[in-house]
Chain A
């Protein structure tokens, strides 16, 4: 049975090695916060493993050795009892010391996390059932532009994110960069993250928030400062004008039907505020908080039937003919 256990555990460890490295793993840090935390995780794991092994060894020996003595169950030998008292005492003191050290280490690690700095990029992130609204703030904390579900950040610069929510509790967690922090209605939280390397990091919503909690992901795209600036400048612009008849028709439908009641497309008549900003929709990599990759096909699929793709989400199915759908998806795909 023991070997079965070991084999099994080994197997599952192997299966997981894929997960240790990856775009959503606490063990694959890409920023200083997450790196601190990984040290901490390994340290605690090491201590825990040691303690566990020690306890198991003692247990094993204890049941293996058969203590001699009288057959009567109550007879105790005083010297043995004294030895046991001593051993238990030592172990208890050792426990206190180890725990005190772990507490101290943990406390120090807290201090090292999330230092605010002057030149930080500042973002306001709001959680909604089941998507994220990101507002990039200017130097005076004024809103400069709004986007959804994807954050771009410059490599090497700290980014402070103000977290809030209007509906239920969500939680911001991009494990490769930092630990998590909740978005709580009526409370304002803040977290600082820094990415050391360019890359795309994924963050699932980490507090149960209802039906589609499982499909509420956020992406952080860390890129070199120059690219980040380029991206930011592009995002500040209003939406691209439709190029061609089909896109024109698409725009008309989007701004003329229910879509506009919920979505904003800057530079058009669509000014809804209860749904993701679509101004630069097509510049994003994923659709609907990580549900689908951003392609024209998936845009069409989404608009045609959002409830099958992400059951229960807050976008209704808007009845459109096939032609209309084609036009809409063409237009949406042009919103780079």
Chain B
């Protein structure tokens, strides 16, 4: 493509804004054909897909929750069989954790982080496209198995020996383990993209100390993913090996150990819950200043708190194993470490309260979700402190008390900020506002429905109701409370339903938003809503942690990036000083093909170990296609 020779050197400063926009859109855009749609590597399109898919999984998981609640509404109910119920709660947990909560946070980051740091695309955009396809494939695999009535039935942590070769019947546990592989691969890929985007692609002047807190949270989250996920990769691979080729990792009769699995799982599983929680914290820290009308109080403290939570989270895993009979001294250490993590969590809460206290809070819809978050997350965190006590936990472990704890932190701590985040960023994604009135109703219904549903579960747990039971005897006296919970969950579901209706409606009919409807301070609001394919006409220059508040009139920007090839600015890690103009890959169909071949291999390997050998060949071919230079302007340095 040497005829592109001099055109490649075309720099943005040579063009008037209107023409520049058109040319950039051509360079960075995604065509309208089906192939173009499947080939795109635009982080906004991929991110949008990710978000929509994750919310579909929320609906599916929510429907399963309603099924469970229907079954539990009456004692000795025969609505769902034991076998089906076990599949349903396993699907609910696995789906919510692996297909909804983790991916949705990553999805928001895929969309927002490049905008917030002021770059034109995420780092490794093809990997990003790949990660979406592989995630989708994992989700479809799991749900197909479930619809064929061979869904996993061993709980979302699939303890051996129940999931092992002897007791895990059929291919159910293999499906679960392989679904883990799919989601791991995609989560790890996104984590790498985020880390590199944040480290290397920030706008000039956006030093670490000015980075939006959501970006900080995602950075820490990504490191958590990088360090924690290999543990579950090993857990699920060993499980598959035990089942498929007769290894004995978890077989006590041959020198294996049942608890090894639990250690591996929770070494991942505990950080996992913070992988879900920290991005939500970042959202709170981002939404709050906008509506408190002031910078967040204690920026440094908040950053350090997030980092501290990230680091400590690797020292807590045994608190899920308090009743397995590990040595008491060791367990007490994990009580202490679990308590310690409440300190940075508390500091965050206090800083946010201080921000509100000295601010002028505007109670718009996103803010209502943040308030709901306060009330529920703090309660859930405090019950977390309760279950962190070894002796106390011996009474409530594996009861509905724990079910209550983790829904308080998962829904109150993560989903509420997420909903707030959707109300907040929806205008950026679509160019239209969601309805303020609907937002109030959603916040109210979800908050009330949530608490009515999950608060009584604490009491049920103390009253002796174990979790993961498909039914209970009438003489246990839990019928009334369970009926109450099941009815309340309908209020909760109505809230969610209204939320989805509002979102769907607003895409078409919402009020036009403008670039920055909330007068928010961070860079994503410096561009159009929805942003053009190239994100920013000129890459902004950042002079403070709240660029759009300090630069109220005009935005300082850079010039000198080329127009005819996809070029992004690379800056230094700490100070974000410009270092180089790097190319960013073009759209490509190969990530999709790689994902497809990988899917074939992974599913095939449930049935035969040889799939790993033969299935790797097409993957290799697809990867070569992916990386083989195509002579585009991007390839010519």
| Chains A and B touch (C-beta atoms under 8 A apart) | yes
- B96-113 CB mask vs A (1 if < 8 Å, else 0) is 000000000000000000
Which residues of B are found within 8 Å of A181, using beta-carbon distances? 323, 325, 394
Q: Which residues of A contact B546 (CB under 8 A)?
A: 73-74
Q: Are A99 and B340 in contact (CB under 8 A)?
A: yes
User: Is B392 a contact of A106 with CB atoms below 8 Å?
Assistant: yes
User: Which A residues from 5 to 30 make CB contacts under 8 A with B?
Assistant: 5, 8-9, 11-13, 15-16, 18-20, 22, 24-27
A184: interface (CB < 8 Å): yes
Closest to B358 in A: A80
Which of A1, A11, A16 is in CB contact (< 8 Å) with B444? A1
| A19-B392 contact, Cβ under 8 Å, with A84-B357, A180-B398 | no
Q: Is B161 within 8 A of A167, CB to CB?
A: yes
Contact B385 A48 (CB under 8 A): yes
B477 sits at the interface (CB 8 A): yes
Q: Could you say which residues of chain A place their CB within 8 Å of the CB of B298?
A: 84-85, 88
The contact of A106 among B82, B390, B452, by CB within 8 Å, is B390
What are the residues of chain B within 8 A of A102 when measuring CB–CB?
339, 385, 389
Minimum C-beta distance from B519 to chain A (A): 7
Q: Mark B137-171 against chain A: 1 for CB-CB distance below 8 A, else 0.
A: 00000000000000000110001011000110000
A248 vs B298: C-alpha distance when bound (angstroms): 83
Instruction: Give residues 502-527 of B contacting A (CB, 8 Å).
Output: 519, 521
Closest residue of chain B to A205 (Cβ to Cβ) is B466
Q: Which A residue's beta carbon lies closest to that of B155?
A: A208
From residue B359, how far is it (CB to closest CB) to chain A in Å? Answer: 6
A110/B332 in contact, CB under 8 A: yes
User: Measured between alpha carbons, how far is A146 from B330 in the docked complex, in Å?
Assistant: 35
**A44 contact set on B, CB distance < 8 A:** 385-386, 389, 392
Nearest chain B CB to A5's CB is how many angstroms away? 6
Residue among A27, A37, A110, A189 with the most chain B CB within 10 A? Answer: A110
Tell which of B82, B336, B473 touches A212, judged by Cβ atoms closer than 8 Å.
B82
Q: How far is the CA of A30 from the CA of B615 in the complex (A)?
A: 61
Is A40's beta carbon under 8 Å from chain B? Answer: yes
Tell me the B290-312 residues at the A interface (CB within 8 Å): 293-295, 297-298, 301
Contact across chains for B297 and A88 when beta carbons are under 8 A apart: yes
Contact B324–A87 (Cβ < 8 Å):
no
A106 in contact with B463 (CB, 8 Å) = no
Evaluate contact between A210 and B480: CB separation under 8 angstroms.
Answer: no
The answer to whether B339 and A16 touch across the interface, beta carbons within 8 angstroms, is no
Q: Are A65 and B357 in contact (CB under 8 A)?
A: yes
Question: In the complex, how many residues of chain A place their beta carbon closer than 8 angstroms to a beta carbon of chain B?
Answer: 99
B335 CB-CB contact with A under 8 Å = yes
| A290 interface hit (Cβ, 8 Å) | yes
Known: A207-B398, A211-B82. A107 touches B477 (CB 8 A): no
CA gap between A312 and B82 in the complex, in Å? 9
- Whole-angstrom distance between the alpha carbons of A66 and B359 in the complex? 7
**Could you tell me the distance between the alpha carbons of A319 and B166 in the complex, rounded to whole angstroms?**
28
A209 proximal to B (CB < 8 A)? yes
Q: Which of B199-207, B347-355, B428-436, B588-596 contacts A (4 or more CB under 8 A)?
A: B347-355
When C-beta atoms are compared, the residue in chain B nearest to A94 turns out to be B346
A179 at the interface (CB under 8 A from B): yes
Known contacts A88-B347, A184-B259, A208 near B463 by CB under 8 Å: no
Given A99-B339, A107-B332, A182-B324: A5 touches B259 (CB 8 Å cut-off): no
A51 proximal to B (CB < 8 A): yes
Whether a CB of chain A sits under 8 angstroms from the CB of B253 is yes
Interface residue? B83 (CB, 8 A): yes
Quick one: closest A residue to B544, CB to CB?
A: A74
One of A56-64, A132-140, A262-270, A272-280 contacting the partner: A56-64
Across the two chains, which residue of chain A brings its CB closest to B159?
A169
Minimum CB–CB distance from B323 to chain A (whole Å) comes to 5
- Measured in the bound complex, the distance between the Cα atoms of B576 and A268 in whole Å is 85
How far apart are the CA atoms of A319 and B462 in the complex, in Å?
43
- Picked from A27, A41, A105, A184, the residue with its CB within 8 Å of the CB of B324 is A184
Contact assessment for B484 and A11 in the assembled complex, using a CB-CB cutoff below 8 Å:
yes
- Shortest distance in angstroms between B368's beta carbon and chain A's nearest beta carbon? 10
Contact B354 A73 (CB under 8 A): no
Residues of A contacting B82 in the complex (Cβ-Cβ under 8 angstroms): 211-212, 214, 311-312
Question: Is the beta-carbon distance between B476 and A55 smaller than 8 angstroms?
Answer: no
Closest Cβ of chain B: how far from A188's Cβ, in Å? 8
Interface set, chain A 202-248, CB cutoff 8 A to B: 202, 204-214
Partner of B386, one of A22, A48, A173: A48
Report A-chain residues with C-beta under 8 Å of the C-beta of B464. 19, 22, 24-26, 175, 202, 204
A180 touches B397 (CB 8 A): yes
Across-interface contacts of B154 in A (CB, < 8 A): 208
Distance (Å) between the CB of A108 and the closest chain B CB? 9
Instruction: Say whether B534 faces chain A, with CB atoms less than 8 Å apart.
Output: no
Instruction: Point out which of B295, B343, B354, B519 has the most chain A C-beta atoms below 10 A from its C-beta.
Output: B354
Which of B354, B394, B465 is A88 in contact with, Cβ under 8 Å? B354
A residues near B343, Cβ cutoff 8 Å: 92, 95-96, 99
Least CB distance, A260 to chain B, in whole angstroms: 25
* A92-B346, A179-B395 known; A13+B323 contact, CB < 8 A: no
C-alpha gap A209/B82 in the complex (Å): 12
Task: Say whether B459 contacts A13, CB under 8 Å.
Answer: yes
Tell me if A81 counts as interface (CB < 8 A to partner B).
yes
Residue interface mask B253-285, A partner, CB < 8 A = 1: 100111100000000000000000000000000
In the complex, A95 Cα to B309 Cα: how many Å?
A: 15
Cα A51 to Cα B481 in complex, Å, equals 26
Report B571 CB to chain A, min CB distance, Å. Answer: 24
Q: Are A81 and B358 in contact (CB under 8 A)?
A: yes
Q: Is B375 an interface residue (CB 8 A)?
A: yes
Q: B630: CB under 8 A from chain A?
A: no
Restricting to A145-191, which residues have a CB under 8 Å from any CB of B? 163, 167-169, 171, 173, 175, 178-182, 184-187, 189-190
Contact of A204 among B159, B391, B469 (CB under 8 A): B469
A109 and B389 CA atoms in complex are apart in Å by 9
Residues from chain A with a CB closer than 8 A to the CB of B393 are: 179
Q: Point out the residues of chain A lying under 8 angstroms from B66, CB to CB.
A: none
Q: Is A59's CB under 8 angstroms from B371's CB?
A: yes
Q: How far is the CB of B365 from chain A (nearest CB, A)?
A: 15
Chain B residue nearest in CB terms to A60: B371
The 8 Å CB contact of B336, one of A5, A84, A103, is A103
Contacts of A8 in B (CB 8 A): 448, 452, 484, 488
22 contacts between A and B (CB under 8 A): A11-B484, A15-B480, A26-B396, A27-B463, A41-B386, A44-B385, A52-B382, A63-B356, A73-B294, A73-B521, A74-B295, A99-B339, A110-B390, A167-B166, A168-B159, A189-B325, A190-B325, A205-B466, A206-B398, A211-B82, A211-B86, A212-B82
Given contacts A11-B484, A73-B519, A110-B328, 4 further A-B contacts (CB under 8 A): A16-B481, A178-B394, A181-B323, A210-B86
Interface on B for A, CB 8 Å cutoff?
A: 81-83, 86, 154-155, 159, 161-162, 166-167, 252-253, 256-259, 289, 293-295, 297-298, 301, 323-325, 328, 331-332, 335-336, 339-340, 342-343, 346-347, 349-351, 353-354, 356-361, 363, 371, 374-375, 378-379, 382-383, 385-386, 389-399, 444, 448, 451-452, 455-456, 459-460, 462-473, 476-478, 480-481, 484-485, 488, 519, 521, 544, 546, 549-550
A interface residues with partner B (beta carbon < 8 Å): 1, 4-5, 8-9, 11-13, 15-16, 18-20, 22, 24-27, 34, 36-37, 40-41, 44-45, 48, 51-52, 55-56, 58-59, 61-63, 65-67, 69, 72-77, 80-81, 84-85, 87-88, 91-92, 95-96, 99-100, 102-103, 105-107, 109-110, 113, 129, 163, 167-169, 171, 173, 175, 178-182, 184-187, 189-190, 202, 204-214, 290, 311-312
